[in-house]
Amino acid sequence: MQNKPKIIVFSEIDGSGKSTQLKLLYNELITNYRVFISKIEYMPLNDMNKSLIRNLLIEFKSGIEILKQTIEIHPKDNKFDYILCDRYLMCYLAYAYMYGIESIELIRKMLFFIKNPDLTLYFDVDVDLALSRIKERNSEINKHENYESLMHAKKGYEKLFNSFGNLEIIDANKSVGEINNNVKDTLIKRKLITR
Ligand code: ADP
């Protein structure tokens, strides 16, 4: 058993397959290790029509969500070997960029007390493919999930690559099985699991 939990983040836009891959890894790790899943359900869906009060409330709720996750994944006692995060601060900042907040790298620096995870997996997916997966999953697409805004969110992610260390880019256009194998190879390469 390990002492300090290893924190592994699953990131990228919706439809990239984060949750699918997280569940697969969870099912494999849970047979031998104590694994905790930290999922951020809420994502900021700001009003692009500049409703100041509404946007401030959304930013406030975002702040609370980030704080909640930070507390949740840094427990004082070492009850877990792995913490798998479905989204992280990085995802919030990429979405903030999507809503026109330019200074996301500076905001990350200001939030220096929020540590970098042991590994951030970036499931790099083509936006068209992500949208078709979302459509299949939900039958209806959220108005924020369109080609233009998701492309913008991806740009936000790319701006943050250097601000979050321990990042690995995984080609998420492949099949579920191929991606799962790449995830496991990455964890082995990073010495986060043994074969
Ligand atoms: P996310 O958590 O990033 O929004 P999901 O894991 O929920 O993505 O996947 C979105 C949809 O796409 C789900 O219906 C899932 O079954 C499907 N899916 C996930 N990964 C793949 C893949 N590699 N190939 C085809 N479909 C996928």
**CATH number for 161:** 3.40.50.300
Question: Alpha carbon 126 to chain centroid distance?
Answer: 16
Q: 58 in a domain, yes or no?
A: yes
Q: 188 in a domain, yes or no?
A: no
Domain housing 67:
6-178
Q: Report CA(76)–ligand 1 centroid distance (Å).
A: 34
Among 156, 146, 138, CA closest to 100: 156
Q: 88 in a domain, yes or no?
A: yes
SS3 of residue 99 by DSSP = coil
* Euclidean distance between CA atoms 30 and 40, whole angstroms: 21
Q: 19 in a domain, yes or no?
A: yes
Among 52, 59, 46, 53, CA closest to 144: 46
Structure letter (DSSP) for residue 103:
-
pLDDT by 10s per residue, the chain, length 195: 557 899 999 999 999 999 999 999 999 999 999 999 999 876 676 666 667 787 777 778 888 888 999 988 887 678 999 999 999 999 999 988 988 888 999 999 999 999 999 999 999 999 999 999 988 887 666 777 789 989 999 999 999 999 998 999 999 999 999 999 999 999 999 999 986
Atom of ligand 1 nearest to the CA of 12: 3
Q: Is the CB of 16 under 6 A from ligand 1?
A: yes
Domain count, the chain: 1
Q: Is the CB of 15 under 6 A from ligand 1?
A: yes
Q: 192 in a domain, yes or no?
A: no
Q: 42 in a domain, yes or no?
A: yes
Nearest CA, atom 17, ligand 1: 133
Residue type, 132: S
Q: 104 in a domain, yes or no?
A: yes
Q: 142 in a domain, yes or no?
A: yes
Nearest CA, atom 19, ligand 1: 17
SS3 of residue 35 by DSSP = strand
